[in-house]
Structure 1
Amino acid sequence: MKPNEKILAYLQANLNKKIADGNPNPISTWLDGTLIKASAGSITAEFTVREDQCNHAQVLHGGIITTILDEIMGMTLITVEIEHLYVTINLHVDFLFGAKAGEKVTAVSEVYRVGKKIANVEAKLYNAEGKLLAKSTSNLAATSIPMKF
């Protein structure tokens, strides 16, 4: 079984569980998201906005939105067949609407292209009513670190 197939099987066996469970990235623990769906090239996760994630205007801080989107895009990339781990080389985020503490937000990602050195991924963040709060695209570069699972 290929590493991405093992990862996908693991993710699918852990739907509706905290992403932090078994995830080596400490930011995943802090974000405290729940995995909702996982397929090759796409992940859906849900997060509850906490007060410590809000800015002075009492809405979800743009840096936290960016972190959620970046984390979900990187996580999605390992669900496709890649030989090495990738790192973000650029990230563009459009902030459209806010979310307050206590609200649930859902991040949905999709891998658009994986080349030999560069991958292109997109993620969107929605509120519970399906309103688009933010959208992001990122290019990620292959590292020399082999993909393992």
Structure 2
Amino acid sequence: MIPNESILSYLNQHLNKKIADGNPSPIATYLDGTLLKASAGSITAEFEVRPDQCNHAQVMHGGIITTILDEIMGMTLITLKIEHLYVTINLNVDFLFGAKAGEKITAVSEVYRLGKKIANVEAKLYNAEGKLLAKSTSNLAATSIPVQF
């Protein structure tokens, strides 16, 4: 996979900073993650589970978990040489364990295949002890919207 050097350079200059800084995605602001690592085809980010992200059982809501995984998978594609933005066309999530408010969780993504029209990406969510909380796979389709950086 061919990295997009200028975007990777930008991301690596912003390690340990909020993902929302300079990111046009409003959902990135809501999720409030911190970028830990960026390489060609992979991103690692950390999030703190907030009370407003928990369900009635006081564990992180599955929809928020899904949103984190979807956001990180889409973001990972910009680390590669793409000309157009991609959008999710399907998403599969396995929820394995919960996380409570105040816990730190880490999302790790990897692009498995980048085609002209379809990309296949995987993301996993871990707790601070390294326990796998959720895993996801997604296929994303290229749009006609050019990448602007």
Q: What's the TM-score, normalizing by structure 2?
A: 0.97
Q: Deviation of residue 81 (structure 1)?
A: 1.0
Partner of 1:111: 111
SS at match of 1:27: helix
Q: Is the 8 A contact 2:15 2:35 kept in 1?
A: yes
Q: Tell me how many residue pairs correspond in the alignment.
A: 148
Deviations 1:53-80 (A, max 9, x none): 0000000000000000000000001101
Partner of 1:100: 100
**Within 5 Å, which residues of 2 pair with 1:10-89?**
10-89=10-89
Report sequence identity in percent. Answer: 86
Compute the RMSD of aligned alpha carbons: 1.2
Moved over 2 A (4+): none
Consecutive unaligned residues of structure 1, counting only runs of 5 or more, are none
SS at match of 1:102: coil
Consecutive unaligned residues of structure 2, counting only runs of 5 or more, are none
Aligned equivalents of 1:45, 1:21: Cα separation in 2: 13
Aligned equivalents of 1:11, 1:47: Cα separation in 2: 17
Q: What's the TM-score, normalizing by structure 1?
A: 0.97
